[in-house]
Structures are given as structure tokens and as C-alpha cells.
Structure 1
């Protein structure tokens, strides 16, 4: 099902310079979200459990925790809020009032790096499918199940990724000195 030019359910939008530089509002939002996802994926690629568990100072934030947290945010926003669906396991049993603040940080160390990347990857694919379905039924003004419009939901997701990719920048540099966004071929497309 195609919802916007170059965006098919479950797949990232097709990249081209014209859409990147001159796309409409939907193109701009989708490409910006995907660019943040790809940069974040690159920051979390090819690390072992020690790299995924590294903390800086007194912070509880780790790359593994960020993967689990962003997988949960993907599920919360695109399944629960946008599509009105239940999130996948392990998020389906979480209490938003109780578990929001520290659940991902507390539990990520119990998961392997491969499991964390797979969880995030699965959540991203599910999000793309929900977003493609929503876009095929209307534009960015359509309401979500919790009352915001799709435009606001996408802006919030872009902000969430931008914030946490900044955390990932610092953590990845501390792990092995890697900095920057990576070359286009370096992105592990989720």
C-alpha cells in the first residue's frame, strides 16, 4: 500500500535529492524522521553488550536503553496513539503511569544487543505500516486516537529521535570514538 510517493508500508521512504530538498510537508516529515532513525541506528550498530551498557557519569542512559525506549515510543505513538492498536510484546503489559520513566533503562541490560536491535527494528517496521495506512486514509490534519493530529505526532517523534540521537552521539563516541552521522552506505536501514 503506497501512502505518499516513495513510501510503502514497512519500508523507509525512497531517498532522492529532489524530495529531500523540495518535498512537500509529508515528504519533509517522513524524510526527517527516517534520517533521524538511520542516524540513531548507525550509532547503535555493531556494539557488544559492554558498548550497549556504557553509562556516562551518573546518568542511567545507555545505548541499549535508548534502543528499548525508542522501540517503546514507536509502539506508543504509532500503534497506540495513531492506530488505536495494542503495542507488541514486551510493551503490551506496561503501565504508562508507572513504567514510563525508567523501565527501558532498568531492563535493557537483561537483553542482548541483537535482541535490542531486533526489538527496535520490529517497532520501526510496525510504525511505518501504521503510518502508511494512516496517510493512505488522509493527510497530516487527521486526528489520532488520543486527539492530537498526525502532524503533531510526527513532530513529537522527530523531536524524540533528535533528542535521543544526541545522547547516542555522546555514548557512541565514549565507546569507540565514532562521531558524525555516518556515510549513506553506513546506515543499517531498519
Structure 2
């Protein structure tokens, strides 16, 4: 997809670039596509389900906000997970379950804030080293993952849930497509 100026949108991975540029751009594309799928819905739209599944766009916004904070904080550098997530961890529940009192604006702000923090943390890590640098993500007695593995795991998480979001959004109002509409800009850019 190109815009009217002939240049690709910010979320389109570059045609050439370093491994880090390619991986981060692919992740940003998934983030942008996911956010566009959830964009502009009211509470009914965000909580609509398909069939017997408990998945909703509201739940996915919440879940991916948690995943962004987890991967870019604890898994990347060993920092404690933000206190807002502690109750979910203690309840042992999947983070797709959210407060039914959360407004669409609160869910969008939660997700957008988590992505903005994550982008800043990952960019800072890449200033300090390359994709081979170790992270705090790992398996006890086996080893630590490098930054490449952490980013690929995050990209995989988005690949899965962006597909879910595509189906959920189509059920709400028929919106389909791989890339956001021309001129649409993610809130964190």
C-alpha cells in the first residue's frame, strides 16, 4: 500500500534494511493493523463475540496491552510488571478478561499507552545493542533468549490476535482488509 505521495506508510516494513529495522517494522505493521481493526467502536462493538468464543476486541485490546508491557518490561530488562496487571496475575485469569466497567476510551488509552511505552523501550534497547543482546526472557536452567527471539515472539502474538481481530471486526460492521485506510495514523506515531 502506498499513499498519494508515492511513499509507503510508516507501518510498512522497508524494502531493504537491517534485521532490526525489518523486525521492528513488521511488528509495527501488525500493531497498526490490529489497532485499525479495533478503531472507533463503541462498547457494544468492542464486546461482540462470534459463536461460542469468549474473544472480544475489548479483551484483545486489554490482552495485547498486557503483552506489550510484559515483553518490553519484565521480559526485556527484568523490570517489574506495572501494578495495573498484578490483579490479573493473582487471579490466574487470561488478560482478555477485563473490567466490564472499562469504557472504549479507557481500553484504547490502555492499549495505545502500552504500545508507546513498548516502542520506546525496544528502541532504547536497540541503541544499546543489536538483536543478539540477551534479555531476561528465558527458561530456567536452559538459558536466556536474545532480543531477536523476544521480538519474534511478540510478532507471533500479534499475528495470532490480528487474525482474531479481523474476524471480530468483520462481524461488527463488515470492515475487512490487511492495511489501514490511506491517511489513517496509529495514535502512537
Q: Same fold (TM over 0.5)?
A: yes
| Residue 114 (structure 2) pairs with residue 123 (structure 1) | yes
SS in structure 2 at match of 1:148: strand
Count of residue pairs the alignment pairs up: 173
**CA offset at residue 92 of structure 1?**
3.8
Instruction: State the alpha-carbon separation in 1 of the partners of residues 11 and 97 from structure 2.
Output: 40
Report what 1:15 is aligned to.
10
Q: Which moved more, 1:121-130 or 1:180-189?
A: 180-189
Structure 2 residue runs of 5 or longer lacking an equivalent are 1-8, 138-143
Structure number having the greater helix percentage: 1
**CA offset at residue 16 of structure 1?**
8.9
Q: TM-score, normalised by structure 2?
A: 0.84
Report what 1:143 is aligned to.
134
SS in structure 2 at match of 1:178: coil
2:45–2:172 contact (8 Å) kept in structure 1: yes
Report what 1:31 is aligned to.
25
Report what 1:188 is aligned to.
186
**Structure with larger RCO (C-alpha < 8 A, sep 6+):** 1
Report what 2:39 is aligned to.
45
2:132–2:147 contact (8 Å) kept in structure 1: yes
- Structure 1 runs of 4+ aligned residues shifted over 4 Å read none
2:55–2:96 contact (8 Å) kept in structure 1: yes
Q: TM-score, normalised by structure 1?
A: 0.84
| Within-5 A mapping of 1:148-187 | 148-180=145-177, 181-187=179-185
Structure 1 residue runs of 5 or longer lacking an equivalent are 1-13
Kindly provide the CA deviation profile for residues 135-182 of structure 1, in whole angstroms up to 9, marking residues without a partner as x: 111100011113111000000111111110000000001001111022
